């Protein structure tokens, strides 16, 4: 029996995510670059990301049929049964026979033929009981966070945090949002050419619609936008709407000196370069040379004059002689606001990571503050939902930086409002402290935080 290209791709991606620490999104982009039918690309994406999102629940259900921990299985066997069970539970259009048989074949091709009867038996038993309500399978005495963690497939410690901070209703919304495919948004680099771009993308089976939050953001659906001619020609970039908003909060003006720390891959740098204009100066810094090469490639694709690229450790004192009017600190973080887009993150995080990252984030922010000119503006942002990485870092920096203050909420909202889509109020995105915040499940985008600081 042959295995469909989609399942081969998904199996290889899941194997590399587990064994190499790779990210599924990057691997999918690489695997689907060319020569893959649209239907196969869609199924490979659904299976690989779906298995990662639902991993805990899948293993919980598998344990009932295996009578032992799934973790004791060889990795190829474990991945094959996870894939098969995911299809049985969530992809009703796929015949159960195909889901079971191709999982068995995957094990055989991985040279684990001795496990083929086990995979076949487990998945057939799972298929017979797949109609049972999942809630009824969880012990009735399970704690709320444990129960939600199993049902929605998240680590219990993370669910506990969110319940304490957001309450039950908002937490369930957040958990649900993390298990749905996120919106695919883009920024048009020349909004006046929307009609031309729409026609070009339609020829590739891609639909272009208005975005939800920003005037110049657009939603994409169907096809593979990053493989289109229009993308290669720099007519648009794929970027979540919340991510698009962050650089707008700086309010860069023509001719200003701008510093973008932790700049790679350059999605937030590009609008800063446009706003500063030919007479401005934009420095894009990152710690790793290969990430700076990604920024350079981004600018080459967009046909923008490249920013000044500098390789440096942003947590150390910065080497610049003159201060900057505007600074963006898009800090490295846990990424808990992007779990729908990067589902493997939820299985790699540990509570102690928050402490470690907070220390790094504060060091970077304090170094940046030293480079901010009097009267200048700094935006500190993350794609994390965790207070330790957001408010706590900002409050610590304010306590250690005399003369630094939060920008008034009214001025932050006024800076953002002209960029928003009709009917969207900046007040719905900016809190009383002038902080920008989005939450999956409440907003149609990733979860972001940004604080606007002034000297």
- Using H for helix, E for strand and C for coil, what is the string for 100-165? HHHHHHHHHHCCCHHHHHHHHHHHHHHHHCCCCCHHHHCCCCCCHHHHHHHHHCCCHHHHHHHHHH
Distance of alpha carbon 116 from alpha carbon 111, whole angstroms: 10
CB 399 within 8 A of CB 391: no
Catalytic residue among 186, 333, 383, 445: 383
Distance of alpha carbon 23 from alpha carbon 214, whole angstroms: 28
- Sequence-distant (6+) residues with CB within 8 A of 170 are 162, 439, 441, 442
SS3 breakdown of the chain: % helix, strand, coil, rounded to 5? 55, 15, 35
Q: What is the DSSP letter of 383?
A: S
For residue 196, what pLDDT is reported? 85
Query: How far from 111 is each of 115, 240, 419, CA to CA, in Å?
Result: 9, 41, 56
Q: Strand runs (DSSP E) across 317-393, as ranges? A: 324-330, 372-382
For residue 341, what pLDDT is reported? 95
Measure the CA angle with vertex 181, ends 177 and 187; round to 5°: 105
The pair of structure tokens assigned to 192 is 């006046």
- Sequence-distant (6+) residues with CB within 8 A of 149 are 56, 155, 156, 158, 159
Residue that has been written with the tokens 């942002």 in this structure = 381
Q: What is the DSSP letter of 385?
A: -
Cis peptide bond N-terminal to 440, omega within 30 = no
For residue 1, what pLDDT is reported? 67
CB 271 within 8 A of CB 299: no
Distance of alpha carbon 280 from alpha carbon 258, whole angstroms: 8
Distance of alpha carbon 233 from alpha carbon 274, whole angstroms: 17
Q: Which of 275, 338, 344 is nearest to 304 (CA)?
A: 275
- pLDDT mean values, one per 10 residues, the chain (455 residues): 90 97 93 84 95 96 88 94 95 90 93 90 83 83 96 98 97 97 90 84 86 93 84 92 97 97 93 94 93 90 86 94 97 97 97 95 98 98 98 98 96 96 96 97 96 97
For residue 228, what pLDDT is reported? 85
Q: What is the DSSP letter of 69?
A: -
For residue 222, what pLDDT is reported? 83
Q: How, if at all, do strands 436-437 and 449-454 pair?
A: antiparallel
For residue 357, what pLDDT is reported? 95
Q: Which of 424, 453, 450 is nearest to 437 (CA)?
A: 450
Beta bridge partners of residue 454, listed in sequence order: 377, 405
Biggest alpha carbon distance in the chain?
Answer: 71
Q: Which residues of 330-343 are buried (b: 16+ CB within 10 A; e: fewer)?
A: bbbbbbbbbbbbbb
Q: Catalytic site residue 445?
A: no
- Sequence-distant (6+) residues with CB within 8 A of 128 are none
For residue 189, what pLDDT is reported? 85
Q: Which of 378, 288, 386 is nearest to 333 (CA)?
A: 386
Q: Which of 341, 346, 353 is nearest to 156 (CA)?
A: 346
Distance of alpha carbon 346 from alpha carbon 143, whole angstroms: 20
């Amino acid at each position: 029996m042959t295995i469909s290209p989609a399942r081969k791709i998904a199996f290889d991606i899941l194997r590399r995510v587990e064994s190499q620490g790779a990210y599924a999104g990057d691997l999918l982009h690489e695997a689907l670059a060319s020569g893959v039918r649209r239907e196969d690309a869609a199924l490979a994406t659904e299976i690989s990301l779906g298995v990662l999102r639902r991993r805990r629940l899948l293993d919980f259900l598998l344990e009932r049929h295996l009578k032992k921990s799934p973790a004791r299985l060889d990795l190829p066997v474990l991945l094959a049964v996870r894939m098969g069970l995911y299809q049985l539970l969530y992809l009703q259009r796929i015949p159960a026979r195909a889901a079971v048989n191709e999982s068995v074949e995957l094990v055989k091709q991985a040279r684990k033929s001795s496990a083929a009867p086990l995979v076949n038996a487990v998945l057939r038993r799972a298929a017979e009981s797949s109609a049972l309500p999942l809630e009824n399978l969880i012990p009735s005495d399970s704690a709320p966070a444990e129960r939600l963690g199993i049902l929605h497939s998240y680590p219990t410690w993370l669910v506990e945090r969110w319940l304490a901070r957001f309450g039950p209703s908002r937490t369930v919304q957040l958990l649900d949002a993390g298990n749905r495919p996120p919106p695919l948004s883009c920024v048009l680099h020349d909004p006046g050419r929307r009609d031309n771009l729409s026609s070009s993308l339609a020829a590739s089976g891609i639909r272009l619609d208005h975005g939800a939050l920003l005037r110049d953001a657009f939603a994409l659906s169907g096809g593979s936008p990053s493989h289109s001619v229009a993308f290669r020609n720099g007519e648009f970039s794929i970027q979540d709407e919340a991510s698009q908003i962050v650089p707008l909060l700086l309010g860069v003006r023509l001719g200003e000196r701008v510093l973008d720390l932790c700049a790679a891959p350059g999605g937030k740098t590009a609008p800063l370069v446009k706003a500063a204009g030919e007479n401005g100066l934009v420095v894009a810094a990152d710690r790793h040379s290969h990430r700076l090469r990604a920024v350079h490639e981004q600018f080459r694709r967009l046909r923008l004059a490249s920013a000044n690229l500098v390789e440096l450790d942003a947590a150390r004192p910065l080497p610049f002689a003159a201060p900057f009017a505007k600074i963006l600190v898009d800090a490295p973080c846990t990424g808990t606001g992007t779990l729908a887009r990067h589902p493997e993150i939820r299985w790699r995080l540990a509570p102690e990571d928050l402490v470690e990252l907070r220390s790094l984030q504060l060091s970077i922010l304090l170094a940046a503050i030293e480079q901010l000119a009097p009267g200048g503006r700094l935006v500190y942002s993350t794609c994390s939902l965790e207070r330790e990485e957001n408010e706590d870092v900002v409050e610590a920096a304010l306590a250690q930086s005399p003369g630094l203050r939060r920008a008034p909420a009214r001025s932050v909202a006024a800076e953002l409002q002209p960029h928003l889509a009709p009917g969207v109020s900046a007040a719905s995105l900016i809190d009383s402290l002038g902080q920008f915040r989005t939450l999956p499940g409440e907003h149609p985008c990733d979860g972001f935080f940004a604080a606007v600081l002034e000297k």
